[in-house]
Structure 1
């Protein structure tokens, strides 16, 4: 079988499938020195890769949260060997508000106010037509993707730092790029999560809230989707997540980006993006430009 190439329409001329200098965690412009970072779903996959990237970027402390304590313990041990950051881990379900509050409070007490939160948790119901899907499995996508993000954000608020606090929400291109039969739980729930992030940004202008598509990666969720697409490298979303909390990304507030897009090209387009309110949720084609409006 021929190797598959880029399937999705671009936004920047340059499309990346792995890390590159501008988002490299060791690039001084992406330094996380002195920062306290918390990553949900941090025991493996993308979450673990993001924690590793912040470790390389010189973070002061990194806390990883997840449901499986054994995976968290192993990941924490690897992180401790790989860098100088203080590593903490907590077994906590993002739907357990009390556990989340306790974890955030414990992090703040031990290492200080939390600068960056990466909401990496997510769930994909088994791809199946809505009419024949298991209701509990179908609804679980909404519970974890939306309520879990909502509770994570609220648990952070009392413990956020005043140093450019940043809330990064992992999402998916499927939230906005079309209709996928069999994904009536996953795609709409991720669209709602993206729109939730926009509201959180509007309500908290002192916080940088941003959503991003991490690319197509070798994860359990990717296998579950059953979609045969080219794969990106973990160095892409992990480096991009570090860049999102850097001074260069101070303008991304309330927007939805893809890790595949070139950040230097995005910077050149910044004024146009902000002026036209691009990379935000809405209805395609609205408003329509008409010669005159008639109110009848």
Structure 2
């Protein structure tokens, strides 16, 4: 059963946001993307388009968007061009098509920031009776697609700044909602992949981000009636994640709802205790066990 419209997720910070605020605003000078080249997958609609628009507002030099539908990309290009002075590029590409990805990245690069937003929600229903092709399509797109996107970024990343890779994930990765096992399991796998990519590539800022609950095509497909956040929330949060103040977030799993000034103040505790990563609840309980051989 999906949460009701009155349901509120627990929060890591005392303040929980549902829309943009000054600390994550694209127009805040501390979040400036001036001179940066940004690429957003699934950037033609929904959250991806909102994030692309935020980077235009933050002054990015170039914003490239990838998607599978040329008409959607054409409409998005017009919207983005009217939002600021950034060069707008569009590429028809599927994130599981390695050759198409490489071509798009090569045509855009060198790239400073990638927002891996494209994803897939399998038809909700019990795992025991799900159509397996659709069920495992979530793993193909959410995990393999994310890895291929990251590999393309490594080939074409900028060397003039700290490259940043932002992976859009979901709170469903660490919650159990019956009938959404394909989405949840593929997303928790994606989150672990991101943690490994961060550990293996210390020169790249690699972070997972839950964007909130938005009125998107995917949300409509889910059938969930939970209350929605404003699109400005994940858009601004994604811009903040690539800012100088977020230099410490690599390997973390963060929610757009959480207050970034509180997160910055909690940085010592988060890093010292290894918080905001995926793991096994309750482990370790015993720090120094008695080893019997």
TM over 0.5, yes or no? yes
- The equivalent residue for 1:216 is 213
Q: Number of paired residues? A: 289
Is 1:155 matched up with 2:156? no
Q: Determine the C-alpha separation between the residues in 2 that align with 1:204 and 1:289.
A: 31
Q: How big is the shift at 1:295?
A: 2.8
Q: How big is the shift at 1:293?
A: 2.2
- The equivalent residue for 1:273 is 270
Is 1:36 matched up with 2:37? yes
Q: Determine the C-alpha separation between the residues in 2 that align with 1:290 and 1:156.
A: 39
Structure 1's 204 and 290: CA in aligned 2 closer, same or farther, altered over 3 A? closer
- The equivalent residue for 1:125 is 122
Q: How big is the shift at 1:291?
A: 6.1
Q: How big is the shift at 1:82?
A: 1.6
- The equivalent residue for 1:202 is 199
Task: Indicate the RMSD between aligned Cα atoms, in angstroms.
Answer: 1.1
Match of 1:238 among 235, 240, 254: 235
Structure 1's 291 and 89: CA in aligned 2 closer, same or farther, altered over 3 A? closer
Is 1:75 matched up with 2:76? yes
Unaligned runs of 5+ in 2: none
Q: Deviations over 1:73-131 (max 9, x none)?
A: 110121112211000000000010000001100112xxxx1000000001000111111
- The equivalent residue for 2:18 is 17
- The equivalent residue for 2:286 is 289
- The equivalent residue for 1:104 is 105
Equivalent position SS for 2:284: coil
Unaligned runs of 5+ in 1: none
Is 1:184 matched up with 2:181? yes
What TM-score, normalized to structure 2? 0.96
Larger mean CA deviation between 20-29 and 278-287 belongs to: 278-287
- The equivalent residue for 1:143 is 140
